[in-house]
Homo-oligomer: A and B are copies of this chain.
Amino acid sequence: MISKNQIKFVRQLEQKKYRKAEGLFVAEGPKVVGDLLRAGFKTHTIFATSEWQSQGLPFQEVSDEELRRVSFLQHPQKVLALFHIPSIPVPSVSNLSLALDDVQDPGNLGTIIRIADWFGIDTIYCSENTADAWSPKVVQATMGSIARVNIVYTNLKELIRKVQVPVYGTLLDGQDIYTQELSKEGLIVMGNEGNGISAEIRQMINRKLLIPQFHEGPESLNVAIATAITCSEFRRRYPL
């Protein structure tokens, strides 16, 4: 059973202000919920049908119809859990990390988190105006990768001012990423979908990269695609 108030409580977590006020986010499906549990994320409430393999965890049993009413998915998947948003201190930049300067699209953000996970990048620093990683859309788009990558919202300018590693960014006046010298450690800045990296941060980038274009026509690459190509080239040269 799930009460009307509980449904209302969960549905409100679609909005950032409620997530922030409650310190909670929603995750759905055995894969994503399982990845978060395995990574040690703390649960607030788990709603699940009798089909969910709880492995001994306490949960509130709901019917398929009740799950459908509370779910954010078109096809609800046995379990919906509320987790506490982790509050970790902003880690200082080491290894290879990503910084997102106002990435707006939840799908892009989710895909970027998945890419970071694949390439073993521990931390993504997000500008305060980057889409919220704890929205239901982003959490699901990460396919569980959000459990394995630190997501930190911070003032990027202040962060970059203090970093000890080279700061990279893909820019139109950059140098060919395939031949340019890359370092094992670094902070890779990716920009907004429409405007790229903001003017102020652009000036703080000390190694400008260019993903070469192989013929006339296209004006840009999608930010998640550019992130994938950039991370791939770093890891090709410096495997973990």
Q: List A residues at the B interface (Cβ < 8 Å).
A: 35, 107, 111, 114-115, 117-120, 143-145, 147-148, 178, 211-215, 217-222, 224-225, 228-229, 232-233, 235-236, 239-240
Contact = CB atoms under 8 A, between A and B. Distances in A.
A109 to B, nearest CB: 13
B225 A111 contact: yes
A114 B221 contact: yes
A239 B212 contact: yes
A217 B107 contact: no
Contacts of A220: 143
Nearest to A224: B225
Nearest to A31: B219
Given A228-B225, A228-B229, A215 B178 contact: no
A37 B222 CA distance: 23
Contacts of A232: 211, 229, 232-233
Given A212-B235, A215-B240, 9 more contacts: A114-B222, A143-B219, A144-B219, A178-B236, A221-B228, A225-B225, A225-B228, A232-B232, A232-B233
Contact of A118 (B114, B119, B221): B221
A236 B143 CA distance: 29
7 contacts: A115-B221, A118-B221, A145-B217, A147-B217, A148-B218, A211-B232, A232-B232
